[in-house]
Structure 1
Amino acid sequence: MAKHRIYTMSFASVYPHYVKKAEKKDRTKREVDEIIRWLTGYSQEEVEEHLEKGTDIETFFAEAQQLNPSRKKIKGVVCGVRVEDIEEPTMQEIRYMDKLIDELAKGKAMDKILRKNI
C-alpha cells in the first residue's frame, strides 16, 4: 500500500499554514510552537532545525523521542475522522497536531489544549 502523500511533505511546508490559521484567529506563532513542543517533546531549537532542514512529516514524528503521553487524551474529529480511531500511528500523530491547532484557532485556552488537569 502506498504511503499517504502528506508523509513526504516537508514539515516546513505545513508549519506556515498552522501559524496562519492561528494568527487569523488572533492567536500567536508562539502558541503554535508551544503546541508542537508539547506534542513532540522537541525543544524550540530542534523544531527550528527540522524547519531549516526541510524534514518530511513522517521523519519529523519518527524522530520525536518524547511524544507526550497525554496526547492520547485528544479526542474529536479532524477531516471527518475521529482522531482516537485512526489506526496508523504516524497519521494519528499528524491528526493530533491538526486537532490541537484547530482548538487553538477556535479560541480554546492553552491549558485545555495541552490537556492540563484532565
Structure 2
Amino acid sequence: TLSQHPDKNLHKIAHTRSSTGPLAERVRPNQLCDVIGQESFLPESPLGRLLVEDNLPSLILWGPPGSGKTTIARIICRVTKRYVVKISATKAGVKEVRIIIEEAEKRCALCQPGTVLFLD
C-alpha cells in the first residue's frame, strides 16, 4: 500500500490530489526533479538549463511505455511560457498537425511566444 511505501510523501501526494482519478495520475510527478531516472532533465544538466530558461529546441521524447515520456511532456508544458497544443496521435491526422503548425507560424510572425506541440 502507499502508506507502506518507502517514500512516505507518496501517501500524502496521492491523498492531496483528486481522490477520484487513477492512482497513476494522483502520484505522477509535477516537477522534473521528481522524475526518477531522467537525469538529463535535472536543472543543472544542459537540457534542464534550457528548460529553466524556456529556451528548449525541438524535442522528441522516445522510449518504452512507462519510461516517463508523457510525464516529462506534461511538466514541460506546465513550466514553459509557450503556447501549448495537446493532441492525440491516434486521433489526429496529418491535416490537423499541418493546421497547428500554420497557426504556430502565424503566432511566431506576430512575435508571440513559441508553440509546444504535445503529440501523445
TM-score (norm 1): 0.23
TM-score (norm 2): 0.23
Higher strand content, 1 or 2: 2
Higher helix content, 1 or 2: 1
Q: Which has the higher contact order (CA 8 A, sep 6+)?
A: 1
